[in-house]
Structure 1
């Protein structure tokens, strides 16, 4: 069994990468941080890294703009 294809392994990888994500001080930094995390999650999950980067960037910017006190 390939550990990268295990749903539990994927969930753990996603949580670990999200925990490492930093919001950044500017929208650009927020987008880059989220994009890196999204691409990393996609790579671990054998997904499309460009799509993962786009989703991660958008999600991190949205989160940081909505909850700036948590960043």
Structure 2
């Protein structure tokens, strides 16, 4: 039961910090540097980097949705 909840929470349920989008689809849009464990935000304070990362993920997901809608 806990495994089902965790799966739903981490893949399906919308999260307010992700502009009410589920986290799993956003994880596919990470820049390559983030997938490799390198931060593209080196030198930026951690709070600012987290906010910038969220914005990049939101923008990337919306661009992908727009491309799918146009196809």
TM-score category (smaller protein)? 0.3 to 0.5
TM-score, structure 1 normalization? 0.39
Higher helix proportion: 1
Higher RCO (CA-CA < 8 Å; seq separation 6+): 1
TM-score, structure 2 normalization? 0.39
